[in-house]
A and B are shown apart, each in its own frame.
Chain A
């Protein structure tokens, strides 16, 4: 078994990053100008990395499949971004953010990476404000904070329910500035279809121009995959329609290990499925759990309308089960608790697969607060309601509007119906401390890597990690590799390795087009999604996983003999793009089940029904499973497990409790 070297610097945890920065090799400015870096993906990680590297003087090429880098799915992040600023004077610190993240991740993340993340978190806020990101502010002109799940301090910075949008537009503006200066060349409507390796190092990519269908070769001294997560393996998720695993999966097949693929985050507060036509699910930000109260009727199969159910007949089950954190328990716990109630027959709505998220109490509380502020001594109920609704509107207005658009119901009048949905994937390409995969010169940043969130990500930490990796980590760590590449001149792409890579990509596209079967791509994607949701979703069992692996293998065969792709190979062809992505999801889905089956414990988002405490909480096995499962691709359906042992030297590993 090969030993994975995470290259974690020595010394005390709190000094590792500082020591690393002071000792890592540097590349002088004139050498930077002749080093070329390819960045795939233009979300928070990709845009921030590309802008920062171009500012340093590297020659950068950026690729995205959308029509503009500003569309990347980071744009849809709602609630906020964490940072250990302690502006609230409520006891926050770098150590506490580190601790909360490790604990929230159910003790399955790497200490050194998480500590570094907490250390740079403050600089991210500074950087974004300097770019003109309009964060929410208090009347005194200073930045406002809100609470989020899994923490007891207020460290989340936000811009209404559109924080991801504002942060991405900030990174995008920095990126476009470099594009305008000629330091970044932007390739939109381009999809990366393979990594090119030469003598074991990543040296470029093959990309398809979606408009013309032409295959292109691009050289880079290093390749950064900032391509997001793979939640769409479930078909229905909160991810954008185009979000996919293809870039990461191609890298995996070229030698990059895939770590903890089964760690999936099912987000507790999403708008429930309304029918078979459903193409995606919509998140209602976790920040809503700040003020909203989650409940179901105490009576089984209660058919009354929410507003007709009296207070003492409501079960606020999160407050009941977890009094210390209440509605703000971490996501994995809140999701499982909702599933438990619905499975037990207490669900609400037409499908009975939903719970209520209720704002009635918050509206009254805010309304009374406003009355006090305005010196109104005997406000009427109507006045309280109106003022309370105004406050809620300012905090969460866009989310309430979105809910109304989708469901046709007004959440200011009736409680929202919510249910868990696939949202984020903690697993991803295995990377070392430098964010390099097991292929030299190939990096993975943001959600595409595995390193910081363990088995469960805390709310408002995805934006933090994406920007940390791009703005403040990769500009330093890439020097460790590129300093040794200064004598490598830019290579021609007219070489046998590029020939072979391009031919393989072309052959695969032609094979897909020539199947000429009977079923559209969506048919296979929906079937894969159902298998994954039923057997590798919120609850998993050895029996179910074993059966799923067989089912997925059969589905792979069916796909490759019966998929029907219309249109031409050399024109804009969304079905062909989708087919390539679903083919990769079909292989990834199998690996996720293999990984979930290997892990005979429950931790974070991975819940094996065989491993639970008496009261239904996840039961970890630290003796045998305190490792990162890094899978090597050997051949179709054959993956080899490598283990990176997780050592906790600064935190006492304990059973997670939010009670």
Chain B
């Protein structure tokens, strides 16, 4: 016992993609406010193992908010109650003693559940493979400083490039739209001269792949921006639409 939080957890358990899941309720006690949310789940899991039960499967890796692997939907919000934070950086000081916490996987048909809280986000990789790059082979580059880029453009591109591909935007959206994710990459590259060359083609290809994956449409609600742990801006969607429409108007 390291702390004094006693909590009730309602966690989504699902053995695999082909069976139905349901909520299970667990009690945890003696939780320290210095623990991260995932460390609290570690405590639960080690107890489940000792009791002979299957621990809760969840995705996680870096535990410092940058790899984008953790993905829990906590009390109805992706990555929990705090703004600008991934689940691994959410700490138990954000919860009250006696609280009931509901934990679900990302909910989106394009992100099917693999087990418990683990979902398949490979659709994002396919969107990037469709066009989220500059078509340059290794060895082709000119000297890095031969291409001055206004600081403002570089800063804006960086802000868009900070996306960690966690999928919170999709999970937060009532339509499970992937517009924020897709637009962040399209924006980053369209803002930079290196990426401008194929900006139209890129927008068309990535949007087509996004649609094919079964993500929903954008209705400008802004939940994605509000829940994004990296503060990716809705402006990116506007920029993407600009690129996309100019591409479709001009394409033959």
Contact = CB atoms under 8 A, between A and B. Distances in A.
Contact of B151 (A75, A141, A176, A177): A141
Given A162-B66, A279-B36, A406 B2 contact: no
Interface string B39-64: 10011001011101111010111111
Interface string B123-162: 0110011111111111111111101111100110110011
A76 B134 contact: no
A152 B247 CA distance: 49
Interface string B78-119: 000000110001110100000000000000000000110010
Contacts of B139: 123, 127, 471-472
A282 B34 CA distance: 14
A136 B154 contact: yes
Given A67-B120, A141-B150, A166-B158, A406 B195 contact: no
Contacts of B33: 408
B10 interface: no
A404 B54 CA distance: 34
A1 B16 CA distance: 53
Contacts of B148: 140-142
List of 5 A-B pairs having minimum Cβ-Cβ separation, nearest first: A141-B148, A180-B129, A130-B141, A173-B133, A126-B141
Contact of B161 (A123, A166, A401): A166
Given A240-B61, A566-B55, A520 B46 contact: yes
15 contacts: A72-B67, A75-B68, A131-B194, A132-B188, A133-B161, A134-B154, A134-B158, A137-B150, A240-B63, A279-B42, A405-B85, A405-B89, A408-B34, A522-B46, A564-B49
B165 to A, nearest CB: 6
Residue with the highest number of chain A CB atoms closer than 10 Å, among B67, B85, B188: B67
B138 A471 contact: yes
Given A174-B133, A279-B38, A406-B89, A126 B142 contact: yes
Contact of B128 (A134, A159, A176, A279): A176
Interface of A: 48, 51-52, 55, 66-73, 75-76, 85, 87, 123, 125-143, 159-160, 162, 165-166, 169, 172-174, 176-177, 179-180, 186, 188, 211, 238, 240-242, 274-280, 282-283, 401-402, 405-406, 408, 471-472, 475, 518, 520, 522, 564, 566-567, 571-572, 574-575
A572 B36 CA distance: 24
Contacts of A471: 138-139
Nearest to B120: A67
A131 B38 contact: no
B195 A277 contact: no
Contacts of B136: 130-131, 174
A173 B134 contact: yes
Given A71-B61, A129-B194, A471-B138, 18 more contacts: A70-B125, A71-B67, A76-B64, A126-B143, A134-B161, A136-B158, A137-B149, A137-B150, A141-B148, A141-B149, A162-B162, A165-B162, A180-B131, A566-B48, A566-B55, A571-B115, A572-B115, A575-B55
A142 B145 CA distance: 6
Interface residues of B, number: 82
B114 A132 contact: no
A187 to B, nearest CB: 11
B7 interface: no
A135 to B, nearest CB: 7
Contact of B192 (A134, A211, A282, A520): A134
B241 interface: no
A601 to B, nearest CB: 35
Nearest to A157: B144
Nearest to B52: A566
Contacts of A159: 158, 161
B128 A173 contact: yes
A275 B195 contact: no
Contacts of A143: 144-145
Contacts of A134: 154-155, 157-158, 161, 188, 192
B176 interface: no
A284 to B, nearest CB: 10
B52 to A, nearest CB: 7
Contacts of A71: 61-62, 67-69
Nearest to A470: B138
A167 B94 CA distance: 33
B93 to A, nearest CB: 6
B4 interface: no
A76 B62 contact: yes
A87 to B, nearest CB: 6
Given A73-B67, A132-B194, A136-B154, A472 B125 contact: no
Given A132-B188, A571-B15, A67 B138 contact: no
Contacts of A567: 54-55
A131 B133 contact: yes
Residue with the highest number of chain A CB atoms closer than 10 Å, among B53, B115, B137: B137
Contacts of B143: 126
A567 B48 CA distance: 11
Nearest to B124: A68
A132 B134 contact: yes
A519 to B, nearest CB: 8
B141 A176 contact: no
Nearest to A574: B57
Contact of A402 (B34, B35, B50, B64): B64
Given A132-B194, A211-B114, A242-B61, A68 B125 contact: yes
A176 to B, nearest CB: 4
A174 B135 CA distance: 8
Contacts of B175: none
B117 to A, nearest CB: 11
A241 B52 contact: no
Contacts of B64: 76, 238, 280, 282-283, 402
A277 B43 contact: yes
B125 A85 contact: no
Nearest to A210: B114
A382 to B, nearest CB: 26
B8 interface: no
Contacts of B38: 279
Contact of B141 (A66, A85, A127): A127
Nearest to A565: B49
Contacts of A211: 114-115
B133 A66 contact: no
A402 B115 contact: no
A632 B184 CA distance: 48
B54 A278 contact: no
Given A51-B138, A141-B149, A282-B64, A129 B144 contact: yes
Contacts of A276: 2
Nearest to B33: A408
Contacts of A48: 138
A573 B238 CA distance: 42
Contacts of B124: 68
Contacts of A169: 161
A162 B66 CA distance: 8
A595 to B, nearest CB: 28
A572 B57 contact: yes
Nearest to B148: A141
Contact of A277 (B2, B54, B61, B155): B2
